[in-house]
């Protein structure tokens, strides 16, 4: 859901780039079926733009908002129709891999886009932890977990309070 995006997400993209992946679509969830009470789509999209702005291989995509998809399988099918690549990979952290049993059509997803699983060096960083600090107004506690430009935004706009 990228709620909010953090340095762990950035690290996953960096590792994918080092492994030779030359184009990464970061797609914030528009209709997240497994989570409630997430920050607005537009706010999360803007934070994604700030988080990944230094990675030229990364494109932040509106696909889920435009097509109002709810499930990864639907988003992947649209991505395949729009972007004609030879191979697709699904970048996920190890923490997400443990939850794929909840996903719709996981068996089809992995046939379309082989998971690129990154054992995050930054496992101590999680969106849940960040939201917890932010809900208490402890923005400075997030300094080591988000990029400086995202921290600056969160200092003036905190939808988690």
Decide the pairing of beta strands 114-118 and 89-93. Answer: parallel
Lookup: tokens for 10: 């950035």
Q: What is the pLDDT of residues 31-47, one digit of tens each?
A: 887 777 799 999 999 99
Model confidence at 98: pLDDT above 90: no
Lookup: tokens for 89: 């990979």
The residue-averaged pLDDT of 72-84 equals 95
> Is residue 155 packed enough to be buried (19+ CB in 10 Å), middle (13-18) or exposed (0-12)?
exposed
Full-model pTM: 0.93
Q: What is the pLDDT of residues 139-158, one digit of tens each?
A: 999 999 999 999 999 999 99
Model confidence at 120: pLDDT above 70: no
Name 145's Cβ contacts closer than 8 Å, sequence gap at least 6: 6, 7, 8, 125, 129, 130
User: In percent, how much of the chain has pLDDT > 70?
Assistant: 98
């Amino acid at each position: 859901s990228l709620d909010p995006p953090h340095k762990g997400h950035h690290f996953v993209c960096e590792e994918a780039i080092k492994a030779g992946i030359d184009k990464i679509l970061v797609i914030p969830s528009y209709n997240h079926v497994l989570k409630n009470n997430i920050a607005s789509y537009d706010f999360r999209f803007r934070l994604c733009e700030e988080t990944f702005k230094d990675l030229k291989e990364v494109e932040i995509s509106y696909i889920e908002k435009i097509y109002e998809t709810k499930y990864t399988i639907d988003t992947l099918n649209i991505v395949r129709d729009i972007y004609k690549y030879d191979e697709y990979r699904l970048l996920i952290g190890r923490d997400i891999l443990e939850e794929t049993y909840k996903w719709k059509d996981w068996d089809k997803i992995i046939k379309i886009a082989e998971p690129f699983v990154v054992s995050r060096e930054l496992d101590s960083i999680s969106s849940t932890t960040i939201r917890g600090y932010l809900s208490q107004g402890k923005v400075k506690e997030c300094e080591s977990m988000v990029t400086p430009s995202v921290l600056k935004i969160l200092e003036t706009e905190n939808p988690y309070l």
